[in-house]
Amino acid sequence: IYTSTAKRLEKPGIRVLLASYYNVPTVFLSGDKAACDEFLRYVPNGEVAPVKIGLGLNVALNLSPVKARELIKEKVKRALLRIPEIKRYWVPTPYELVTEYKNKESADSRAKSPEWERLDEYKVVKRADDYLKIGW
């Protein structure tokens, strides 16, 4: 998803923005280090618990389950105490959902729908002023 400020949202940002749509504060994320770093792009003063570091496809350095649970418990507790000071993430409309296909036929098929516009042989875009209408 791209926002009106031309920021590309990755999975953590998409989830944070969805929660914000419903006025639900997002103050904590646990997962791999890359996801935690991405989360902090959207919620800079949020709490994260990086429990693994991805090294490649299906390869990671993981904290032990005991250490991971301890870290998560500590960070969740801290995040819940800090809810009032953690700013809600939001970006103004419009939004764009750009989908890139591996083959032209899939892009052809999607481009037949009136709400989608063709960008090139493999990409289509859907624009919306309402976050939920972008197409989940």
Residue 43 sits in a domain whose CATH number is 3.40.50.10780
- What tokens appear for 108 in the block? 């052809």
d(C-alpha 98, C-alpha 127), whole Å: 9
Give the model's confidence band at 58: pLDDT under 50 very low, under 70 low, under 90 confident, else very high.
very high
Instruction: Tell me if 2 is assigned to some domain.
Output: no
**Residues making up the chain, counted from first to last:** 136
Q: Which pLDDT score, from 0 to 100, does residue 113 have? A: 93
Q: What is the pTM of this model?
A: 0.78
Give domain status of residue 16, yes or no.
yes
pLDDT for res 8:
76
Could you tell me if 57 and 78 lie in one domain? Answer: yes
Mean pLDDT across 4-28: 84
Label residue 128 exposed, middle or buried (CB < 10 Å: 0-12, 13-18, 19+).
middle
From residue 115, how far is each of 76, 95, 103 by CA, in Å? 40, 13, 20
Full domain range(s) for residue 103: 95-134
